[in-house]
Structure formats: structure tokens, C-alpha cells
Structure 1
Amino acid sequence: MEKDFEYQQMLAGELYLAGGILPEHKSVHGKKIAQQINQTPIADKAKLKALVKQLFGKTGKNYYVTPPVYVDYGRHVSIGENFYANMDCIFLDVNQITIGNNVMLGPRVGLYTAGHPLDSQIRNEDQLEFGLPIVIEDNVWLGANAIVLPGVTIGKNAVIGSGAVVTKDIPADSVAVGNPAKVIKTLGEAERKYWQAQKAKYLAAKEKFNSLD
């Protein structure tokens, strides 16, 4: 395979020139697979799952992505077990997006690894850009329209509120909301007890319903 300086720079998180990436490393292949996903009948779950496996660089066994979905490369995305993405999610993966197990993305979540220099000459005349990796650890839930920016890590069990713009790392076991996203709550025993009680209430109601003639 021919050496590709610009592509190597991109994946290293350094400045690179997108137009200089060699044809065999460009993003069109992933965009074509995403287009196939978006044109596949929603009832054909087997085909959709097979296409998502082709799209992403790594998947678990249990995952589902609701069309439409949009990517830059696709192959730079790694997802764990029990992954779910609702409709209209965007994976702008000029750098790696690594997602753990049991992660849920609400509608229109955007994971953006791409960035541009603040200096306008370098950004516009030189057309240099960069990308930094995103890491989403296990058991994370991102609400609808949440945005994650380059270089961010979201810790285990965290919840990101709808419409949040995550510009910095979010610690594990926390709830973060707003623009820029800020931690407003640490999750712990109180939440576990509350939701265990809600689950018990649900199971009791279900048992009662099923016992009706």
C-alpha cells in the first residue's frame, strides 16, 4: 500500500490537508455504505445489520442503528455490545470514535472528531484541518441532539442531556447538560434505589395486567 502522509497525519491528530489524501484512503466508501443503509427498507433488519457491520470498523454481536445515519469514513468507528443509535445520528470520524458496551444515542446525536484552526489564514488559505479522537465508555446515554466535540472522553454510566454540547471530558457516574455541557449531578445509590422501586412497580402492574381474565 502506498504511503499516505496526509492520512497518517489525520489519524495522528495532527494538521493535514484533506484534499491530499490518496484515493484508496478517502471517505467515499463509507459514505456509499451509509447511503445503502438509508435506502434499505426499515423492515429488513438483517440487511441493515449486515450493512452497519460493513460500515463500522468494529462491532459487537448485538447492535442496531436506525436509519438514516451519516458518517465521514465509518471505518474509524468502533462500537461495543448492545449499541443503539436512533435516527439521524452523525459520526464525523476523521479520527477514531471508540464506543463501549451498552451505549445509547438519542435522535440526531452528533459525534464530531473534526476541527479547524482558529487562525483564518491557515484555515482558509492553507486549508489545513485536524481531528481528535472521541471515547464514550460503557453504559453511557446521550440524549437527543447532544453534540460531542473533538478530543472528548465521556466516562462510564454518564448521562448527557438533550441538546448538550460536550466540549470537555465528562467524569463517570454523572449527568451533564447545557452548552457548554456542565455536570449537574453525580449518580449514586439514591438513583439506583429509585429506579429499582420503579422497576418493581412496573413488574407488579404487568403481573396484575396478565392475571386479568
Structure 2
Amino acid sequence: MSVPQEILDVMRSPGVYFCDYPGMAEAQRAQLQLLYDFNNSRPDDPERRKAIMKELFAEVGDSTYLEPPVHANWGCCTHWGSHCYANFNLTLVDDTDITIGDYTMIGPNVTLVTTGHPIRPDLREKSGQYSAPIVIGRNVWIGAGVTVLPGVTIGDNSVIGANSLVTKDVPANVVAYGSPCKVIREIGEHDYEYYWKDRRY
């Protein structure tokens, strides 16, 4: 089954909503079945993997490859551009939209989190939650072990260093890392001469 538009509208709303919304559990279960099929597909059957990805995700561009296992709350709110790559153990908390631009590379054990829960204990007891979209630009590199929190935008061409906690927007064309993640420098001439530390191209 495809996820009903009414449920998508609830999850994309800017306010607090509750996980017991009618039909939500059944719709999510169907998505998780697709995710199970993808994670258990054979490496020698790439066409089946592509077909499952087209059904599971909101959008999948050309030549995008995801290394299983992938973990996702839904899948249907994640939009992949073309020529993207994600290494193993990508976690998508995609109760609202995650948009990933063309040529973006994602390292292993990365978590993209669109959803949080209210600080108010009474609302958490009722499974209250809220969501804010994540936007990752074109040709971004996200290093291993990075966590991106709700509402963050990462600009085109930027690099996020390993194990960073990204709590705020990152502009285009910079190297940023840390916990919390901060812009360290712009991408410049040095990067066109050296590919890593003192190693020249």
C-alpha cells in the first residue's frame, strides 16, 4: 500500500502530532516490509534493489546506490537525487521530508533525524512528536558517524567531518565538523592541490 496523503500531511505539519493517528501504524508497517525486502535482497540482483527503492522512497534519481542495511522510520519521505551513494547503516528518521541532492556521498553509520519529542512529560506519555525537514545540497560529503538533527540545511559541496553533531545550518562550500558542528574553513585552492593532509594529487 502507498502511504495515504492524509497521513503524510499530519507528519509534515509544523505542530505536535501523535503516533496513534488512524491508519498510521498500518501504513508504516507496509513501508517497513519494503525496507525488509531491500535489506534482504541479494547483491547479484541490482534490478530488484532498484525496484524496491523506487517503491520505498519518495524519489530516487539515476545511479543512486545504497549499501544495505538501511534503517528508516518510513522511507516515503526521503527524496534521493541522482548519483548518490550511502554506505552501510544509514538511519533515516524520516517522519517528514529528507531531501538529498545529486552526487551526495554519505559515510557509514550516519543518522538523519527529522523528528523530536516535546520536553513536556505528559505529551511524551501520549507519544507526541514533531518533525522538521532536512535538506542536504548537491555534491555534499557526510563523513562516518555523523548525526544531523531536525530542520538542518547543508549547502552544496560542503563536507561534514566524521562523528559531527549537526544542530544548525551549514553553508555551501565549507568544511565543518565537531560536536556541535561548526564551520572550520571554506573550500579553497589548497583543496585543489592536496587531497588529504600533505598528499598532492
TM over 0.5, shorter chain: yes
Distance (Å, rounded) in 2 between the aligned partners of 1:138 and 1:23: 32
Runs of 5+ unmatched residues, structure 1: 200-213
Q: CA 1:7 to 1:53, structure 2 compared with 1: closer, same or farther past 3 Å?
A: closer
In the TM superposition, residue 188 of structure 1 has moved relative to its aligned partner by 1.7
Instruction: Measure, in 1, the Cα distance between the counterparts of 2:72 and 2:194.
Output: 38
Secondary structure at the residue paired with 1:50?
A: helix
Q: What is the Cα deviation at residue 173 of structure 1?
A: 1.0
Once the two structures are TM-superposed, the CA of residue 25 in structure 1 deviates from its matched residue by 7.1
Q: Which amino acid aligns with 1:56?
A: F
Q: What is the CA RMSD across the aligned residues, in angstroms?
A: 2.1
CA distance in 1, matches of 2:24, 2:117: 22
- TM-superposed CA distance for 1:159, in Å, is 0.7
1:3: Cα distance to partner? Answer: 8.1
Partner of 2:90: 89
Pick closer, same or farther for the CA change 1:49–1:61 going to 2, 3 Å: same
User: 1:44 maps to which residue?
Assistant: 45
The 2-side partners of 1:193 and 1:21 are apart by 57
Task: Work out the CA distance in 2 between the residues paired with 1:49 and 1:103.
Answer: 18
TM-score normalized with structure 2 length: 0.89
Gaps of 5+ in 2: none
- CA deviation after TM superposition for structure 1 residue 145, in Å: 1.0
Residue 170 (structure 2) pairs with residue 170 (structure 1)? yes
Give the Cα separation in 1 of the matches to 2:5 and 2:75.
21
User: 1:74 maps to what in 2?
Assistant: 75
Residue equivalent to 2:104:
103
Return the offset for 1:176.
1.4
Counterpart amino acid of 2:173?
Answer: D
Task: Specify whether residues 136 and 145 from structure 1 end up closer, same or farther in structure 2 by C-alpha distance, changes over 3 A only.
Answer: same
Regions of 4+ moved over 6 Å:
none
CA distance in 2: counterparts of 1:98 and 1:81, whole angstroms:
12
| Structure 1 residue 142 corresponds to structure 2 residue 149 | no
Higher helix share: 1
Q: Please list the CA deviations of residues 41-79 of structure 1 after superposition, one character each: whole Å capped at 9, or x if unmatched.
A: 222222212211221111111110011111111111101
- Counterpart CA distance in 1 for 2:75 and 2:51 is 14
Alignment of 1:1-213 (within 5 A): 4=6, 7-23=8-24, 26-124=27-125, 126-195=126-195, 198-199=200-201
* Cα shift at 1:198: 4.0
How far did residue 13 of structure 1 move? 2.6
Moved more, 178-187 or 76-85: 178-187
Separation of aligned partners in 1, 2:44 and 2:92: 23
Could you tell me whether the CA contact under 8 Å between 1:13 and 1:95 is conserved in 2? no
Q: 1:142 Cα shift?
A: 0.6
Give me the whole-angstrom Cα distance separating, in 1, the residues matched to 2:182 and 2:13. Answer: 28
CA-to-partner distance for each residue in 1:132-179, whole Å, 9 max, x for gaps?
A: 100000010111111111000001111111111111101111111121
Query: 1:206 aligns to what?
Result: none
- Contact 1:31–1:70 at 8 Å: present in 2 too? no
Q: State the aligned residue count.
A: 196
Counterpart Cα distance in 1 of 2:89 and 2:127: 28
Greater CA radius of gyration, 1 or 2?
A: 1
Indicate the larger mover: 36-45 or 56-65.
36-45
- SS, match of residue 162 in structure 1: coil
